[in-house]
Structure 1
């Protein structure tokens, strides 16, 4: 869900408002993401790691569920939006430390 205060229309009434139609939206969970890119597109691959034990020596089992394909410009906008939201989250909840 989007907060109206983050909308360009909230700051400038001359900017057209965006109506977010959620009638066909699905929600899916992913705990794994990978990104593959070419000159023309970025593909975001989402899936679920269902590995219970690495002791069996089989490696990770990731079941991919969704692929989102973006233009490089849309990928850059996504990067900017995610950076802003993560900074807001960390300001409220503390730093998110992830392993390299």
Structure 2
């Protein structure tokens, strides 16, 4: 293959440098996903109770705070990384509930 170094050829190392000067940290407990043929759009934010103006109880408001647009190859790499991270966490800490606070479904009776 053309990408493989020939014998005796030194493989060049690349050093990754991080610039975190423009970084911001946000909390998210909710997300929304949009897709196109070329990209995946991830909206992050948080759910909050919103009093219903018509007096019919409460509404749940999804407040979007951040949007990230990724190419499909990057989405796949991110999904693989997150899968590995969750697997390692659950091996150490136990299964992560996906609906905390909701009772687990009872088995067949």
Please give the TM-score of this superposition, normalised by the length of structure 2.
Answer: 0.68
Task: Note if 1:87 corresponds to 2:87.
Answer: yes
Secondary structure at the counterpart of residue 35 of structure 1? strand
CA RMSD of aligned residues (A): 2.3
Matches of 1:16 and 1:30 in 2, distance apart?
33
Once the 2 structures are TM-superposed, how far is the Cα of residue 66 of structure 1 from its aligned partner? 0.7
Q: Aligned partners of 2:89, 2:13: CA distance in 1, in Å?
A: 27
> Which residue matches 2:75?
75
Query: Runs of 5+ in structure 1 lacking a partner?
Result: 1-12
2: distance between equivalents of 1:30 and 1:52? 17
Q: Distance in 1 between matches of 2:50 and 2:93?
A: 29
The runs of 4+ residues in structure 1 deviating greater than 4 Å are none
Aligned length: 86
Assess, with a 3 A threshold, how the Cα gap between structure 1 residues 41 and 96 changes in structure 2: closer, same or farther.
same
Gaps (5+ residues) in structure 2?
1-10, 100-109
Q: Structure 2 vs 1, CA of residues 86 and 14 (structure 1 numbering), >3 Å: closer, same or farther?
A: farther
Q: Distance in 1 between matches of 2:72 and 2:57?
A: 38
Q: Secondary structure at the match of 1:59?
A: strand
Q: What is the deviation of 1:16? A: 2.3
Residue 24 of structure 2 is matched in structure 1 by 26
- Deviation track 1:43-88 (CA, whole Å, cap 9, x = no partner) reads 001011111789x534311110111000011111110111111111
Please give the residue correspondences for 1:1-100 in structure 2 after superposition, counting only pairs within 5 Å: 15-51=13-49, 56-99=56-99
Point out the structure with the larger helix share: 1
**CA gap 1:78/1:72 in 2 versus in 1, 3 angstroms:** same
